[in-house]
Every structure is written in structure tokens, then in C-alpha cells.
């Protein structure tokens, strides 16, 4: 039977090394800690400690590291916790964006209505878990680099397969790019980064320049940089989850917890859309982020609430609604980018 040994370093002070603590936390967040069969300590300055002996035997210089023994196979050593997470996740069918085995059974109208009733006032973790149990990594979490990181945290804690995609418009703040990378490392999750198709983007920029949205509205630019990449991201999925909330703007007051997405289609033609945070307020989201020590975009510390592309986002002023931060030069009822269009 396969055995995984984790070698951790104990400092001379008696404390475990910080990297080893972080590695264990990552495995716990991903629900993989119980896959570690044995923990062995390498004591600082003690070459005879069991961990130091393993380090010597496998010629490894840094802790933590993992020794994987499979009967009849040579031992393998992994020095990257992320690699271990990916390997264990792949074996469990939860490797980032990996496809689930075969299509899931189709959800009938009656089943959808039943699920809608059951989940209408359920906690976000339960709503998301319902979709992940049914669709696994074929339920994609749309991560925009803002507070919707809560969804990734809930998915990681569920121990269920999940996948995450992001729309990289090419116009995000540097802070957002750094945040995406931090989330990738923190959760050991593969982010599927979707970028715009070059031809239409080049044609737009050639014809109208880089700031045409200030002149004739954001629709055309968002269509190329966001909506088309979103369509490609959704095409192989059966469901997707977004961080939309009803309290975000006048355009989102009727956001449903679970609905059939009539604007986009997925792998089976039909596509389900989940908004597990629909009933949460901004205060609840932030209470969760602080309580669970979830990473967040550093722009939030500088007055930014709703974060999108750099040219089209600004910090908000006291008393302003959070979506006032986006496309502020346009009418408040038009401030959606086409990702969450509702069709009757
Ligand atoms: S938010 Fe602004 S820069 Fe980003 S895609 Fe839309 S119009 Fe273009």
C-alpha cells in the first residue's frame, strides 16, 4: 500500500519551521492532510534525528519534503507541497480543471425546482457543495480577484473536486495579478486564466485606441476582453459559481442562488449558474475573510471595494454604493459587463 511520509523541520528553539506549518495548513485546506501517513521530524543540528536521516538518504536539503513509497516501485521524493496537492488532487479527480469522468446525469426540471427550493436559504457552503458533489471540477468557480475568493475557500474546505477560472482582460491592476498568484499558491489550485482572442482585440485597439470605453461605453471592450473569454471558459462546464450578491448594486437585487443560465451554454447545452453568496452582505463576506484569514486583494486596503479593470475601477467615496466604483461615467443601471446578463 502507498505510504506518504512528510518530513518537517524542528528548529533549535523547539518551534516547527514556518514553511512546514504553511505546508500542513495548505494540505488541511485542501482536505488532504489525512493522506499523510507519517510525519517525521528533522531536528535542527541533530543529524541523527529521523527526518535528518531521511534528508541524508534522499539527498534533500530543505524541509518540508515528502517521501512516497509504492510497493514494487522506487521511492519518490517531492520537495513541493503544491506538486503533492496536485498529484493527490488528480488521483481524487480534483486536479484543478480536470474533467470529471463522463457526463453527469441530466438535471430534470423537477429536480432543478426541488434543488432551488432546498438551497434558496441554505448557507453558501451547502449551496456550493451541492454543485461540487454533482459536477466536481466541471463546476467552475469564476474568480475575479476580489472578495469572491470566499468561494474558493469554501470549495477548498469542502474536500470536493473543484476548478477555478479567471478572466484576464489584460487591463487588471498589478495588485490583482499578484493576488491571483497568491491565491494559486495559498490553495494549491490551478487557475485557468482566460485571455481575449488577439484578432478582435487588435482590431478594436487599431480602430479606436486603448480607452474607447470612455467615449462610447464599456460594452464593446468588455465584450472582447471578458464576455467572449467567459464563453470559452464555460463551454466545457455543466455549472459555474460566481460571487454575485444582491446587495452589490441596483442591477443585482434579484440574483438567484441557483438558476438555469439562459445567457451562456455549457458542455451539455444546459448550464447551471450558482450564486452561493447571493444573500450575503458585504459585511458578512468581510467577516468571513477576516475570521478565516482568507487572502484578499491589497487594493481593498486602499478604498477599493468592487475591483475590475484598472482604467474602469476607482476607489469609492463615503456613502457611495460599491458598484459606483465601476464605469462611474455611465448610468448606474448599465454597470454590468455582460458576464451576468439575465435573459427572460
Ligand atoms: S472593464 Fe473596462 S478595460 Fe475592462 S474589459 Fe470592460 S471596458 Fe475594457
Domains and CATH numbers, the chain: 3-91 (3.40.30), 109-334 (3.40.50.620)
Residue where the block lists cell 462546464 = 237
How much distance in Å is there from the Cα of 214 to the middle of ligand 1?
10
User: Which atom of ligand 1 lies nearest, measured to the CA of 326?
Assistant: 1
Please give the pLDDT value at position 97: 40
Statement: the pTM of the whole predicted model exceeds 0.85: no
Pairwise CA distance, residues 316 & 332, whole Å: 14
Grid coordinates representing 274?
Answer: 450558482
Alpha carbons 5 and 243: distance in angstroms, whole number: 38
What whole-number distance in Å separates Cα of residue 248 and Cα of residue 286?
Answer: 14
Smallest CA-to-CA distance from 184 within 85, 282, 274, 273 is with 85
- Ligand 1 atom 5: residue of nearest CA: 222
Quick: pLDDT tens for 137-159: 999 999 987 788 999 999 988 88
| Distance in angstroms (rounded) separating the CA atoms of residues 264 and 304 | 29
Q: If we measure between CA atoms, which residue out of 103, 295, 284, 77 comes closest to residue 189?
A: 295
- CA 45 to chain CA centroid, Å, is 40
User: CA 310, CA 122: separation in Å to the nearest integer?
Assistant: 35
Nearest to 253 by CA among 152, 321, 305: 321
pLDDT of res. 96: 44
Q: Which atom of ligand 1 is nearest to the CA of 221?
A: 8
Q: Decide: 186 and 26 in contact? Cβ < 8 Å.
A: yes
Kindly report the protein residue whose alpha carbon is nearest to atom 7 of ligand 1. Answer: 218
For residue 243, give the C-alpha cell. Answer: 460571487
User: In testing the pocket of ligand 1, which one of 146, 168, 169, 306 has its CB within 8 Å of the most ligand atoms?
Assistant: 169
Q: How remote is the CA of residue 339 from the centroid of ligand 1, in Å?
A: 12
Q: Which of 287, 314, 306 is nearest to 249 (CA)?
A: 306
Residues of the chain with pLDDT under 70: 89-102, 317-319, 322-324, 326-327, 332-344
User: How high is the pLDDT of residue 29?
Assistant: 81
> What pLDDT was estimated at residue 304?
87
- Ligand 1 atom nearest to CA at 225: 5
Integer-rounded Cα radius of gyration of the chain: 23
| 139 among known catalytic residues | no
Q: Buried (b) or exposed (e) across 261-280, using 16+ Cβ within 10 A? A: bebbebbeeebbbbbbbbbb
Which candidate in 222, 309, 312, 337 is catalytic? 337
* C-alpha cell belonging to residue 100: 470529471
pLDDT tens-digit profile of 63-78? 999 999 999 999 999 9
The whole-number pLDDT of residue 269 equals 81
Ligand 1 contact, 169 CB (< 6 A): yes
Amino acid at each position: 500500500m502507498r505510504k506518504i511520509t512528510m518530513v518537517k523541520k524542528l528548529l533549535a528553539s523547539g518551534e516547527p519551521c514556518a514553511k512546514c506549518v504553511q505546508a500542513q495548513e495548505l494540505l488541511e485546506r485542501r482536505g488532504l492532510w489525512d493522506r499523510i501517513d507519517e510525519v517525521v521530524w528533522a531536528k535542527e543540528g541533530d543529524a541523527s534525528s529521523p527526518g535528518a536521516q531521511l534528508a541524508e538518504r534522499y539527498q534533500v536539503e530543505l524541509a518540508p519534503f515528502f517521501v512516497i513509497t509504492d510497493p514494487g516501485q522506487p521511492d519518490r521524493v517531492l520537495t513541493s507541497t503544491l506538486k503533492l496537492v496536485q498529484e493527490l488532487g488528480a488521483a481524487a479527480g480534483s486536479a484543478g480543471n480536470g474533467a470529471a469522468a463522463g457526463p453527469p446525469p441530466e438535471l430534470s426540471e423537477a429536480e432543478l425546482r426541488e434543488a432551488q427550493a432546498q438551497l434558496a436559504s441554505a448557507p453558501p457552503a451547502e449551496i456550493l457543495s451541492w454543485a461540487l458533489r454533482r459536477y466536481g471540477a466541471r463546476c467552475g468557480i469564476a474568480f475575479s480577484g476580489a472578495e469572491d475568493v470566499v468561494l474558493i475557500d469554501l470549495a477548498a474546505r469542502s474536500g470536493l473536486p473543484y476548478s477555478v477560472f479567471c478572466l484576464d482582460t489584460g487591463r487588471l491592476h498589478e495588485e490583482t495579478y499578484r493576488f491571483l498568484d497568491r491565491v494559486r499558491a495559498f490553495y494549491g489550485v490551478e487557475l485557468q486564466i482566460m485571455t481575449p482572442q488577439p484578432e478582435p482585440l487588435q482590431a478594436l485597439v487599431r480602430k479606436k485606441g486603448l480607452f474607447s470605453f470612455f467615449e462610447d461605453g464599456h460594452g464593446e471592450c468588455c465584450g472582447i476582453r471578458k464576455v467572449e473569454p467567459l464563453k470559452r471558459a464555460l463551454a466545457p462546464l455543466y455549472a459555474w459559481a460566481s460571487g454575485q450578491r444582491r446587495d452589490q448594486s441596483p442591477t443585482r437585487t434579484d440574483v438567484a442562488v441557483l438558476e438555469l443560465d439562459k445567457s451562456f451554454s455549457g458542455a451539455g447545452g444546459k448550464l447551471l449558474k450558482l450564486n452561493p453568496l447571493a444573500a450575503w452582505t458585504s459585511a458578512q463576506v468581510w467577516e468571513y475573510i477576516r475570521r478565516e484569514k482568507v487572502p484578499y486583494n491589497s487594493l481593498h486596503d486602499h478604498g477599493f471595494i468592487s475591483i475590475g479593470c484598472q482604467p474602469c475601477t476607482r476607489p469609492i467615496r463615503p456613502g457611495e454604493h460599491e458598484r459606483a466604483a465601476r464605469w462611474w461615467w455611465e448610468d448606474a443601471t448599465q454597470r454590468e459587463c455582460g458576464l451576468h446578463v439575465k435573459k427572460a
